[in-house]
Amino acid sequence: MTHRLVALCVVSVLGISCAASGGMTGADVPRIRAAGATGGTSLTPSPSPLPSPSPDEPTEPLPAPDEPVPTRRGELARVFEQTFTRNRDAIAVWYRRGDPATWPPPRDVVLLTLYEQRIYRWLAERPAVANGVIDRLARTIAVEAGRNVAATHALFEHFGAVSTLPDFRIRRPEPADVLRSYFRAAERRFGIDWEVLAAVMLIETRMGRIRSASSAGAQGPMQFIPSTWEAYGMGGDINDPEDAIMGAANYLRASGAPEDYRRALYAYNPVDAYVNAVWWYARTMMRFPDAYYAYYNWQVYVRTVDGDVRLSGPGL
């Protein structure tokens, strides 16, 4: 077992790891169970500045970092679909005309992704509302949105909100295409789909944004317990993203992947919600390659008893 999380249930409690599912086929649009929940949004200082507008940025206003989330299902579905579509268009421009191998990402991608992520989190707290909103979306958008909301809800269900804000150290991640080159190199060497490795890193440390060790002592961007790293890290640096990704691929291969991803991911973190979330995110990237660039820009959140606290990203 690589780690026991308590550090980043970013998606969930504080942005750490969570767990698995049964069967690795998965429905196109996972449904979420009915359950009530509450929670607002508050902000805390972050070292992440907002990028300057680029010449290619559209003139249409972008959502503010604290843009209100509509509460009526029809309006929320309309706003979400518009945000999602604008964001994928912005990502396409970034990929074609920009340079995802450099920092920072474009301002429009950062702000649109943040609003999209905030809507996922809002819906994950309100399963009955989420189902009604997802049913109103265009089919291809509903597939991705359904998986993201279901994964977030599963993590919320498993990891409760915290009463004390953890002392996370936040850093700038490696550029998107630099990380992607590491994932692909690990795939070539160990046969582990690069999207699975990206999904693990997304949940563990939000693509390397969280630099703190977990309460169980797990370290680095892929959150390894030092003793596990000693066995599978191949002499690399546990805190180096390239080495950590290669070590994670080595460990997953030794644990049964790619023949049995469920078993391997459960060995990585023995929580069903975690395994489900990793697989849903990975499958989304396999089907919709531009989803990687949206996930890359997801920010660090801590889910507290008083509501969400964001620790990275614009407007703090």
What is the pTM (predicted TM-score) of this model? 0.85
Task: Tell me, yes or no, whether 265 lies in a domain.
Answer: yes
Task: Tell me, yes or no, whether 230 lies in a domain.
Answer: yes
Which residues face 301 on adjacent strands? 310
Span 136-162, pLDDT tens digits: 999 999 999 999 999 999 999 988 899
Task: Tell me, yes or no, whether 209 lies in a domain.
Answer: yes
Span 99-134, pLDDT tens digits: 999 999 999 999 999 999 999 999 999 999 999 999
What is the average per-residue pLDDT within 250-263? 98
Confidence label for 40 from pLDDT (cuts 50, 70 and 90): very low
Which residues face 304 on adjacent strands? 162, 307
Torsions phi, psi for 301 (to 5 deg): -120, 150
**Torsion of the alpha carbons at 203, 204, 207 and 211, rounded to the nearest 10:** 150
Task: Tell me, yes or no, whether 259 lies in a domain.
Answer: yes
Domain count, the chain: 1
Element of type H or E holding 310: strand 307-310
**Rounded-to-integer distance, Cα 73 and Cα 210, Å:** 34
Tell me which residue range forms the domain holding 284. 41-310
**DSSP 8-state symbol, 80:** H
**Rounded-to-integer distance, Cα 131 and Cα 32, Å:** 7
